[in-house]
Amino acid sequence: MAFAALGAAEILRCRPDHATAAALLADAVESIGDVADDASWCWPECRLRYANAVLAEVVIAAGALLNQPDWLARGLRMLTWLLAVETRRHHLSVTPVGGWSAGEPRPAFDQQPIEVAALADACATAFDVTGDPRWRSAVGRCIAWFMGANDVGVPLFDPVSFGGCDGLTATGRNENQGAESTLALLGTMQQAHRLAVAPAAPLPPSATGDAGPGD
């Protein structure tokens, strides 16, 4: 439903009077729900799962397009928290394919490209709505993850095939280059290009460290 809501948001950007798209988008915000007043877990679910940032992006887009400032503030709060949780020192350390809850070990694997792509899209939307440069910088952090600024220091971008590898493991990368992973890479590249963001230099493996989320 969240991805359908993002489609509705695109319709509303072209046709602001499209009642069906507006209703779908509003219903999605209601389904996602509110977040608890808890700075340690500012998320509508008790566990992070798959392509998490899409939920925050829906709430941000709905707030902006439907003139609901409370929704906009909630979505930005969600995204701020998620970006902090999925950052270790100066690079992304995203939720693994099996999900993650507070108290579980970090970093965790396998990390999936779609999680980074969803984060890049949400941060780009937040930048479009607010103009806050920190969201533009966050898109740079996302493309840098593909180029090697990640927990293992290994690029997931293949400069020969121009494809994206399927996941980041504790020992390297999954060399398979499926459609979802390649589209995730390309989508993140498009956001970086649109916002004129240059990725940060990849971190050497020794720089990844063992700091906790948000450090």
Whether the per-residue pLDDT at 51 is higher than 70: the answer is yes
Encoding tokens for residue 68?
A: 């609901």
> Domains of the chain (ranges plus CATH)?
2-207 (1.50.10.20)
What pLDDT digit, counting tens, does each position of 110-146 carry? 999 999 999 999 999 999 999 999 999 999 999 999 9
Indicate the DSSP class of residue 44.
S
pLDDT exceeds 60 at position 210:
no
What confidence tier does 37 reach under pLDDT thresholds 50, 70, 90? confident
Helix/strand/coil percent split, the chain, to 5: 50, 5, 40
**Least confident range of 24-33, 72-81, 100-109, 193-202:** 193-202
Residue the block writes with tokens 């209601």: 30
If DSSP codes are grouped into helix, strand and coil, which group holds residue 173?
A: strand
pLDDT digits (tens, 9 = 90+) for 60-69: 999 999 999 9
> Is the confidence at residue 206, as pLDDT, over 50?
no
Query: Tell me, what's the pLDDT at 44?
Result: 97
Rounded to an integer, what distance in angstroms lies between the CA atom of residue 189 and that of residue 120? 9
Structure tokens at 67: 């003139």
The answer on pLDDT for 98 being more than 80 is yes
Is residue 16 classed exposed, middle or buried when 0-12, 13-18 and 19+ CB atoms within 10 A define those classes?
Answer: exposed
Q: What's the pLDDT at 69?
A: 98
Q: Looking at the predicted structure, is the pLDDT value of residue 28 above 90?
A: yes
pLDDT at 193 exceeding the cut of 60: yes
Give the mean pLDDT of 43-60. 97
**47 pLDDT more than 90:** yes
Name the region of 33 (left: φ>0; alpha: ψ -120 to 50; beta: rest): left
Using pLDDT thresholds of 50, 70 and 90, give the confidence band for residue 34: very high
